[in-house]
Amino acid sequence: MEVTKIYRMPRGSVKALDRVNLSISAGDFISIMGPSGSGKSTLLNIIGCLDVPTSGEVFIAGKNVSKLSESGRTRIRREKIGFVFQQFNLIPTLTALENIAFPMLLRGERRHEEKSRALLRAVGLSEELGEHKPAELSGGEQQRVAIARALANDPEIILADEPTGNLDTKTSREIMGLLKALNERGKTIVVVTHDPLVASLTRRTLRMLDGRILSDGGATDSGETYSGESDSGEIDSGATERSDREEEWKAQTETF
Ligand SMILES: Nc1ncnc2c1ncn2[C@@H]1O[C@H](COP(=O)(O)OP(=O)(O)OP(=O)(O)O)[C@@H](O)[C@H]1O
Ligand SMILES: [Mg+2]
């Protein structure tokens, strides 16, 4: 792909991606690092067909997805892509198992019960936890459920935007271990992270700045000397008012 993304705002426009040229091979395990606002999420959302570039093209498995209609992109997302987010984005009124089954129900999968139980086990959670609502699970457990949900339609690609951003170091490692295991089973995985430890566990690291890719290389050197704490000191401000949760959940269902 080579893409530019410009957000047009009332007070001028923001070039979130500036002629980013990127090729990802099937089976790759990639981390994207870079300061806040450098375009990481924008890039991930464009790769995931959640958003479209202002100019440029994106090919997935040889198909030019930038030329697709909204519904064409939705189909690609459901068939090929699983999303994982920092805030887990589980539906609070559903149990863990029901959350995992949700994308299957959207697709009309008949064996959703059996399949969601298998996914629950695959991400290392007990049957009992399957009956818990998200609020009755730890952060790590919620992220496991979210990963199981991302796997519901057996996607080839998993895109994770700061999946360990709300987790402690030990739990982050566990979640990365889970993603690594999925990668070893052939899934292509892209993880946006601020955490050098997380990046050091992937095979390839892209560093972004001001909408461009600064460097594209193997695992970070900082991995070995990792001190156990992210140095970015960045905390999600949580400033977003969650006034209309219904709308929000509806928007989330866009991603699976
Ligand atoms: N929907 C939007 N409308 C307008 N501008 C946007 C939108 N989304 C992102 N931007 C702008 O595009 C730029 C890149 O944002 P992006 O969210 O991709 O950054 P990021 O690297 O993911 O940052 P963070 O680490 O804080 O998540 C920023 O300047 C941001 O303000
Ligand atoms: Mg982001």
Residue of 79, 77, 80, 112 whose CA lies nearest to 97: 112
For the segment 186-219, what is each residue's pLDDT rounded down to a tens digit? Answer: 999 999 999 999 999 999 999 999 999 999 987 5
Check residue 225 and give its pLDDT: 32
Using alpha carbons, list the distances in angstroms from residue 216 to 6, 191, 224.
Answer: 23, 14, 19
DSSP assignment of 64-109 equals EGGGS-HHHHHHHHHHHEEEEETT----TTS-HHHHHHHHHHHHT-
Closest atom of ligand 1 to 211 CA is 14
For the segment 13-69, what is each residue's pLDDT rounded down to a tens digit? Answer: 999 999 899 999 999 999 999 999 999 999 999 999 999 999 999 999 888 998 899
Distance separating alpha carbons of residues 203 and 71, to the nearest angstrom: 33
Check residue 162 and give its pLDDT: 95
**Which of the four pLDDT bands, split at 50, 70 and 90, describes residue 7?**
confident
pLDDT average, residue stretch 93-104: 96
Residue nearest to atom 12 of ligand 1 (CA): 16
pLDDT average, residue stretch 58-81: 90
Residues with CB under 6 A from ligand 1: 7, 9, 14, 16, 34, 36-42
Distance separating alpha carbons of residues 118 and 122, to the nearest angstrom: 6
Check residue 178 and give its pLDDT: 92
pLDDT reading at 244 higher than 60:
no
Check residue 32 and give its pLDDT: 97
Check residue 252 and give its pLDDT: 58
Distance separating alpha carbons of residues 109 and 121, to the nearest angstrom: 19
Distance separating alpha carbons of residues 181 and 164, to the nearest angstrom: 16
Q: Given ligand 1 and candidates 3, 4, 6, 7, which is best to mutate, with the most ligand atoms within 8 Å of its CB?
A: 7
Residue of 93, 94, 84, 91 whose CA lies nearest to 160: 84
Cβ 107 vs Cβ 154: under 8 Å? no
